[in-house]
Amino acid sequence: MSSNRQIAVIRVVLHVSALLPLVLIIWDLTRGNLTANPIREIQLRTGATAINLLMLSLSCTPVNILTGFKPVLALRRVLGIYAFFYASLHFINFIGIDYGFDFALLREDLFEKRFAIAGFASFLCLLPLAVLSVKKVQQRLGEHWQKLHWLVYAAAIVAVIHYIWQTKADFRLPFTYGGVLIILLAIRLPVVRHLAERHFKWLDKTAP
């Protein structure tokens, strides 16, 4: 398969698997399978899916750095948009369904509680990226887009902090996400990039 064909196949699988968690939520909702507390279950699932997709989006560049497989970079945008999509569901479920747009209650929870502030901040970081991610806008932004993209790192860091802060007892999984995120960000450091590039040059030279 050419790498273009490969990426086309990957794209289809990606769209299907990114929409699958939503389909499962709707399916389980209609069948009453979302535990005794469906609103919380929806909150947990949309949050988990958003953070998973965000981490996947952030793993594209490291995959490229470590393997030299360039087409993977084309997936960053779509993964990021899906992450934002689930983050929006997560946010709407929280303020609209859980709190029924009761702003007096929300003021207390959203603006006084650090886990909620962190979650909201992460959402706000993703918002401009999602809005401006239309390809034409992206092209017009040019180098500014690169600068703006630092927001995605901020969004991911704050999202993991949000996850850790809302955890009551079992910190194994949230800390694992923190660890993975640190690795994903570390691979982007110039030192690592440089070493990887040298490695590929060496591979090219020694290839038969």
The helix/strand/coil state of 48 is helix
Q: Which of 83, 65, 82, 81 is nearest to 73 (CA)?
A: 65
180 binds another protein (CB under 8 A): no
Dihedral (CA of 120, 121, 125, 128) sign = positive
Q: Which of 21, 80, 119, 174 binds another protein (CB under 8 A)?
A: 21
165: tokens are: 């802060």
What separation in angstroms does the CA of 76 have from each of 59, 80, 113, 116, 185? 8, 6, 31, 26, 14
Stretch that binds another protein, among 91-99, 126-134, 146-154, 182-190 (CB under 8 A): 91-99
Q: Which of 112, 135, 136, 146 binds another protein (CB under 8 A)?
A: 112
201 binds another protein (CB under 8 A): no
Residue whose CB is less far from another protein, 138 or 166: 166
What does the alpha-carbon distance between residue 201 and residue 207 come to, in Å, rounded to a whole number?
10
88 binds another protein (CB under 8 A): no
Residue whose CB is less far from another protein, 24 or 124: 24
Stretch that binds another protein, among 57-65, 121-129, 131-139, 191-199 (CB under 8 A): 57-65
Q: How many CB atoms lie within 10 A of CB 195?
A: 11
The DSSP annotation for 80-93 comes to: HHHHHHHHHHHHHI
Q: Which of 2, 3, 4, 13 binds another protein (CB under 8 A)?
A: 13
Question: For binding to another protein (CB under 8 A), which residues are involved?
Answer: 6, 10, 13-14, 17-18, 20-21, 24, 28, 31, 33-37, 39-41, 44-45, 48-49, 52-53, 55-56, 59-60, 63, 72, 75, 97-100, 102, 105, 108-109, 112-116, 165-166, 168-170
